[in-house]
Amino acid sequence: MNFHTASFKAAYGTSAQLPASTGPEVSFAGRSNVGKSSLLNKLMYRKGLAKVSSTPGKTATINFYDVDGRDLVDLPGYGFAKVSKSEKGRWSDLIEGYYNQDRDFALVVSLIDIRHDPSALDRNMVRFLQDAELPFAIVLTKADKLSKQQQQKQQASIKKALDLPRGVPMVVTSSEKGDGIDELRTLIARAMER
């Protein structure tokens, strides 16, 4: 799977607008300030493909990217963003609406900031993925902010807090330094091949 071919495909503001799945999809979910856009840009070898902002919660739509004829799906961040209640409700409906559709879910990449213990929202997301029996991986972001020793400690702590079933991949990444990005590309490519 050639990530160099990445391009923006489309954005949707409501789940009703979403087109039917045309093949396996890898979706990205995480809190508003988890660094999702930076990670996607690093993954797809593009600086400004996914809009990065200093204001958390810039992604207010479901964005589809074409990578080598496959879809990567960027969902709005949950939680943190300073937006109105109605806008938060719309985001929630968007995310739920996406996952409640009959789509070809190859992998859900659940992003968690390695510097913090998983929030209630993070734990709810992981529980939802388990209950829905969706294939998922945990990707820990912003690893460059911690020493290697702190990374290992936090990784173990997060794994325990989430009570992950055996076999769920966990990748430690840094969009800044590129740590874990190749491992994540391999994971995504493998999920798309099934």
Residue 87 confidence class, pLDDT cut points 50, 70, 90: low
Closest Cα partner for 9 from 84, 82, 65?
65
Tell me the HSE value of 118 on the side-chain side, using a 13 A CA sphere.
25
Residue 76's pLDDT is: 83
pLDDT digits (tens, 9 = 90+) for 95-143: 788 998 999 999 999 999 999 999 988 998 999 999 999 999 999 999 9
Residue 51's pLDDT is: 75
* Residues contacting 64, CB < 8 A, separation 6+: 8, 9, 10, 11, 12, 71, 72, 73, 74
Residue 82's pLDDT is: 55
Residue 88's pLDDT is: 53
Percentage of the chain modeled with pLDDT above 90: 69
d(CA 24, CA 72): 9
Average pLDDT (32-48) is 92
Residue 13 confidence class, pLDDT cut points 50, 70, 90: confident
Residue 185's pLDDT is: 97
Average pLDDT (159-182) is 95
Residue 192 confidence class, pLDDT cut points 50, 70, 90: very high
Residue 86's pLDDT is: 60
pTM (predicted TM-score): 0.90
Please answer whether residues 62 and 11 qualify as being in contact, where contact means their C-beta atoms are separated by less than 8 angstroms: yes
d(CA 34, CA 142): 8
Identify the bridge partners of residue 112 per DSSP, sorted by sequence position.
140
